[in-house]
A and B are shown apart, each in its own frame.
Chain A
C-alpha cells in the first residue's frame, strides 16, 4: 500500500469511529476492506478518479452518519407507530405556528404603541392602522403552519397546496376571531366576555382542525361553488356582526349570535366533508373543535394560576406593550404548549385513520 493511501485509509478508519458501536461491529471491517479495494480501482483509472472517489466518500459520510443515528432513534419504537408519529409532528407544527403568531401580535402592538397611547388618536384610526398589520400577521401564521405541515406530512409537490390552504383558513379564522374579540365592546354588550371568548375558541379549534383535516384528506367531494360558499359565509357573518349588529333589538342579539355561530360551524363541517369521507376528517374537525378550547384553557390555568400566578394572560391594547416582555415569554410558551397539545391530538386522531403514507406502495408478502 502506498504511503499516502495508507494515511487516507487510516483517516477513514478513524472517521468510522463516529458510527454507533453496533453498526461498527457489523460493518466496520467490511467498509475498510471495500474502501481499500475501491480506492485501488479508482487509482488505476487515474488521479482524477481517485480524487473523485475521495470526494464522494467525504460528501456522503455525514449524511450516512445522520441516517444511521436517526434510524437508531426511530428504532426506540415510539416514532414507528404512525398515530404517535403524526401526533408528534402535528404538535411541533401547531406549537411553533401558534407561538410565532402570538409573538408577531406583540410586535404589532409594540409598533403601534405611540398611536395607541396617544389620547388624541381616534379609535377608528387605530383600527384602520391595525387591521392591515393583523392581516399580514394572520397570513404569516398560515404560511409558517403550511410550510411546517408540508415538511412533516406532504411531498415537495404539495408545498404550495399546504401553504395556500393554511394561509386561507388561518385568515378566515382570524376574521371570525375579530368578530368576537375586537368589536365585542360595540356589539356584545349584552353578552358576557367569557361566553363570546368560549365561542371564539370553539370556532378557532374547528378552523385549525379543518386546515389539518383538509390537508390530510384525499378526494374532494364537493363542487367548487359549494366550497366557495362555505368559505365565504364566515366572512359574511363577520361583516354582519361588524356593521349591522348594532341595529338589532337587544332581545334578539343572543339568538342571532347562536344562529350565526351554528351557520359557521355548519360551513366548517361541510368543508370537512369535502376533504375525504373515508378518513377521519369529520371526526378530526368535531373533536378538534372541542379539544382546542380545552387545551387553551388547561394550559392557561396551569400557567397563570400555578406556574406564574397573577401574570397577565394577554396584552391589553392601549397599554404600553413594550413593558410586557417577560409576560410575553410566558404567553408565547403557553400558546406553544396549547398548540402542541392540540396538534398532538389532531395528528393522533387523524393518524389512526391512516394505513400508510402518501407515495407508499403495497407489496404482497
Chain B
C-alpha cells in the first residue's frame, strides 16, 4: 500500500456527494445544505431531515466536515454551521476523479451525451 494513501473510502452515496459538494462552496447550516443539495441536483435529491443529520453525523465522525460556528436563531436556539475539512475535500476530489473516469470510459465508446 502506498503510505500516503492510507485512508480509503467506498464510492460515495449521492447524498454524501452532494452534501460535500455543497459545503465545498462555503460553510452552511443543515437547512441551507438541504436547499443547496436540492438545487445542485436540480430537484432530484431531496434530503429528509433524518437522512441529512445521519449523513452529517457520519461525516463529522469521519473528519470529513467540522462544526465551525453556532449562529443564534431565536431565544435559546442556535444554528450549527458546518464546513468541509481538507480530508473531506480530498475525498470529494477523489470521487469526482472516479466519476470522471467512468464518464471518460463512456466517451471512449462514443456514448457522450446519449440521452
Contacts and interface: CB of A to CB of B under 8 A. Distances in A.
Contact of A360 (B2, B4, B9, B90): B9
B98 A38 contact: no
B50 A363 contact: no
Interface in A18-61: 23, 26-27, 29-31, 33-35, 37-38, 41, 56-57, 59-61
A225 to B, nearest CB: 32
Contact of B30 (A30, A361, A363): A30
Nearest to B78: A29
B50 A61 contact: yes
B109 interface: no
B51 A60 contact: yes
B46 interface: yes
B45 to A, nearest CB: 11
A75 B62 CA distance: 12
A314 B7 CA distance: 50
Given A33-B77, A71-B61, A361-B94, A57 B8 contact: no
Contact of B58 (A34, A35, A71): A71
A356 interface: yes
Size bracket, chain B contacts? 35 or more
B66 interface: no
Contacts of A356: 8
B10 A31 contact: no
Interface string B57-91: 11001000000000001000111100000010011
Contact of B53 (A31, A37, A355, A362): A31
Contacts of A33: 30-31, 73, 77, 79
Given A30-B80, A71-B61, A361 B52 contact: no
A363 B1 contact: no
Contacts of A226: none
A35 B34 CA distance: 11
A41 B49 CA distance: 13
A67 B79 CA distance: 24
A68 interface: yes
B34 A34 contact: yes
Contacts of A41: 35
B90 A365 contact: yes
Interface string B1-32: 11011111111000000000000000001110
Contact of A57 (B6, B49, B58): B49
A30 B87 CA distance: 24
Interface string A199-220: 0000000000000000000000
A34 B94 contact: no
Contacts of A67: 54, 58
A56 B58 CA distance: 20
B91 A359 contact: no
B103 to A, nearest CB: 16
**Nearest 5 interchain pairs by C-beta:** A64-B50, A362-B5, A60-B48, A360-B8, A356-B8
24 contacts: A27-B56, A29-B78, A30-B29, A31-B49, A31-B50, A33-B77, A34-B30, A34-B34, A35-B49, A56-B48, A57-B49, A57-B50, A64-B50, A64-B53, A67-B54, A71-B57, A361-B8, A361-B9, A361-B10, A361-B98, A363-B7, A363-B90, A364-B4, A365-B4
Interface of B: 1-2, 4-11, 29-31, 34-35, 46, 48-54, 56-58, 61, 73, 77-80, 87, 90-91, 94-95, 98
